[in-house]
Chain A
Amino acid sequence: MEIHKYEKVWLAGALLLIVGLIATVSYGAVGAGIEMVGDEGGQVDPASLDEHPKFGEPGTYQTGEDEYDVYVIAQQFSFEPGTSEPIRVPADSTVTLHVTSADVIHGFEVVGTNANTMAVPGQVATITIEVDEPGEYGLLCNEYCGSAHHAMEGSLEVVPQSEWNESMVVN
């Protein structure tokens, strides 16, 4: 089969695109350390979250120096904490978010960032992020969860280290 010289050029270009896409995603996983949300968070009983040692009292737990765990329950149509009171974490810290749902599938998205996961009833989604600068982020549900889905939102407040105090953690 005789292939035209231009056709060879754009066949090579198309192959280069495919190889380039795979290479950049591989770089992100290996070089930049981007992680996917896995199932390592384990499972919980969505009907008895109030008996769970952490989800029974959701909020920010300090686990080490500049290391915090935040337990968040998503439910129709709020995040707890997040909606009625913001999730508070200190600046310049490593935060692991543990997110689950008490009823139906929700989304948990820190607006405008890469922190984004599904909140599945019975499953804990665990994502670790590094927060640097103080500021406030929006939270929203990005999985349709019912009639008031559009109103399901909250906020994540990164508090300056100087203003951080013990009352902002559960433990």
Chain B
Amino acid sequence: MPADAETDTGDVVSSSSGGPGGDGPPVADRDSVDDDGYVIGSGRSGIVRRIDHDDFDPVGTLVLIAIYMAIVGVMWVFMYFVEFLGGDLTVIG
């Protein structure tokens, strides 16, 4: 077991950094790269689905932002037109 661990560590160092203290781009483990490319950090899995730029559809984020905008808008209208302009003793001069 100690021998295996040392061997693994040595492999990682030699394949990913290329030298002591080096911080260049990581080098892929050749075994995890197939013909379709690979995703850094994803181990041996390949690309499952390739989509175009506008096919990315974070509709949940859109809804969250829409709700947030609506809250900000309603609060602004309430704060300015109801609380401030509708308040007593408004300074007019």
Interface residues of A (CB under 8 A from B): 2, 4-6, 9-10, 13, 17, 20-21, 24-25, 28, 32-37, 96, 110, 112-115, 126-131, 137
Closest to B61 in A: A6
CB distance from A9 to the nearest CB of B (A): 7
- A131-B89 in contact given A17-B73, A20-B73, A21-B76 (Cβ < 8 Å): yes
Q: Which residues does chain B contribute within 8 Å of A33, judged by CB atoms?
A: 92
Interface string of B65-93 (1 = CB under 8 A from A): 10001001100100011001101111111
A21 CA / B91 CA spacing, docked (Å): 20
B53–A4 touching, CB < 8 Å: yes
B72–A28 touching, CB < 8 Å: no
Question: Interface size of B by Cβ–Cβ distance < 8 Å?
Answer: 22
A130–B90 touching, CB < 8 Å: yes
B58–A17 touching, CB < 8 Å: no
- A32-B62 in contact given A17-B73, A20-B73, A115-B91 (Cβ < 8 Å): no
**Can you list 28 A-B pairs with a CB-CB distance of less than 8 A?**
A4-B53, A4-B54, A6-B62, A10-B62, A10-B65, A17-B73, A20-B76, A24-B76, A24-B81, A25-B80, A28-B80, A35-B91, A35-B92, A112-B87, A112-B88, A113-B88, A113-B89, A114-B84, A114-B87, A114-B91, A115-B90, A115-B91, A128-B92, A128-B93, A129-B92, A130-B89, A130-B92, A131-B89
Q: Which residues does chain A contribute within 8 Å of B56, judged by CB atoms?
A: 4
A32–B85 touching, CB < 8 Å: yes
CB distance from B61 to the nearest CB of A (A): 7
CB distance from A95 to the nearest CB of B (A): 9
